[in-house]
Amino acid sequence: MAVSVVHGSRFTVRGIPSTVNRQPSTVRPSGLFIIGTDTGVGKTLVTAALAAALRAQGIDVGVMKPIETGCPTRMGRLLPQDAMTLREASGSRDALDLINPYRLREPLAPMVAAEVSGRRIDIGKLKESFARLAGRHRVILVEGAGGLMVPITERCSFLDLAGLLELPLLVVIGSRLGALNHARLTVEAALHARLSVAGAILNHPNKDRSHAQRTNLSALGRILPVPVVAQIPHLGAGGGQPLWRGPRLQRLLAGCLPRLLPELWRRDKET
Ligand SMILES: Nc1ncnc2c1ncn2[C@@H]1O[C@H](COP(=O)(O)OP(=O)(O)O)[C@@H](O)[C@H]1O
Ligand SMILES: [Mg+2]
């Protein structure tokens, strides 16, 4: 069985819409909700690389990208590229519609992208899809979109969704000037809402090494109330292979797994 039973919610979530079922789910898998300080900071790279690292250790991992916006159209169909990357990295055979229940064309926050497409996102459907995936896998990795407070509906943000799914957060920090502020705002907001934060990863999507980029790790270590479990350098093109598959990144993230998913490692030792 992929999940463990809990007898109540660990989290108090503020601002949950009244239409959302507030009952805690009866099952909770090991997993992480991967959120970024912004869009384009490396959430998909980190989620895919973590999924591949878990898979390489023989751990059955499921993935979810609840809502993907900015999807290109191919042959009249929207292509959820992040969801497809995560599916490939995890080796999951779950249907793409389950991994990614909502895909939208406009590169906008989900609430707005849905509005301009004449749709509305049903949080209950996201919970249902998650529960089905959680019942199938030992670990589940969920990638958000943009940052923590990005709206899914008027009354539900990714912060609220992470609370509803009862997953600890992993915060991906894009290293640039402004990262200290964005990282602190993200982590403090999560802790204030009583979400659990497993840790943060400092990622360098850009090649340049500004003064801020050279000093971010040391500064974050002193000001963030959660551990920065890894720093990912800017990665060169991997000779045609996707960046998430690179051996250097795989080694780096494999080393973080026991800190990010301690329950899983404890359970492994006990069995
Ligand atoms: N450490 C890195 N080195 C090189 N390229 C990176 C790195 N991190 C991210 N990228 C690239 O930056 C872009 C945005 O990363 P992505 O993981 O898609 O961000 P997000 O999911 O947060 O929007 C992608 O093209 C990705 O390959
Ligand atoms: Mg992404």
Q: How far is the CA of 44 from the centre of ligand 1 (A)?
A: 7
- Residues 210-266: pLDDT tens digits? 999 999 999 999 999 999 999 999 998 877 899 999 999 999 999 999 999 998 887
Which atom of ligand 1 has the smallest separation from the CA of 249?
Answer: 1
Separation of CA 233 from chain center: 19
Q: 182 near 37, Cβ under 8 Å?
A: yes
Q: Is 213 in the pocket of ligand 1 (CB under 6 A)?
A: no
Structure-model confidence comparison of residues 69 and 238, the more confident one:
69
Residue 44 maps to a domain: yes
147 domain-assigned: yes
For ligand 1, whether the C-beta of 252 sits within 6 Å is no
Q: Is the CB of 167 under 6 A from ligand 1?
A: no
Atom of ligand 1 nearest to the CA of 41: 22
Please report the atom of ligand 1 found closest to the CA of residue 203.
1
**Nearest ligand to the CA atom of 235:** 1
Please state the pTM of the whole predicted model.
0.90
φ, ψ dihedrals at 112, nearest 5°:
-80, -40
Residue type, 65: K
User: Each residue of 199-234: b (16+ CB within 10 Å) or e?
Assistant: bbbbbbeeeeeeeebeebbeebeeebebebbbebee
Give the count of domains, the chain.
1
Q: Which ligand is nearest to the CA of 244?
A: 1
Catalytic annotation, residues: 65
Examine residue 194 and state whether it is found in any structural domain, yes or no: no
**Probe target for ligand 1 pocket from 37, 45, 46, 142, with the most ligand atoms within 8 Å of CB:** 45
Residue 125 placed within a domain = yes
Task: Name the closest-CA residue to atom 6, ligand 1.
Answer: 205
Does residue 184 lie in a domain region? no
Q: Is 145 helix (H, G, I), strand (E, B) or coil?
A: strand
Q: What is the CA radius of gyration of the chain?
A: 18
Phi then psi for residue 73, to 5 deg, are -100, 130
Cα separation, 200 vs 183, whole angstroms: 9
Q: Locate the ligand 1 atom nearest the alpha carbon of residue 40 and give its number.
A: 23
In a domain, 186, yes or no: no
CATH number at 151 reads: 3.40.50.300
**241 within domain boundaries:** yes
Determine the residue type at 51.
A
Q: What is the domain range of residue 256? A: 39-167+235-270
Cα 35-112-198 angle, rounded to 5 deg? 10
Q: Which long-range contacts (CB under 8 A, 24 or more apart) does 68-72 make?
A: 68/100, 68/102, 68/103, 68/104, 68/145, 69/103, 69/104, 69/105, 69/106, 69/107, 69/108, 69/109, 69/110, 69/113, 69/145, 70/104, 70/105, 70/106, 70/107, 70/108, 70/113, 71/103, 71/104, 71/105
**Is the beta carbon of 41 within 6 A of some atom in ligand 1?**
yes
- Note the pLDDT tens digit of each residue in 107-166: 999 999 999 999 999 999 999 999 999 999 999 999 999 999 999 999 999 999 999 999
Tell me, yes or no, whether 207 lies in a domain. Answer: no
> Which run of H or E residues covers position 45?
helix 43-56
* Residue in 33, 27, 19 with CA at minimum distance from that of residue 65: 33
- How many other β-carbons are positioned within 10 Å of the β-carbon of residue 156? 23
| pLDDT band of 269, cuts 50, 70, 90 | low
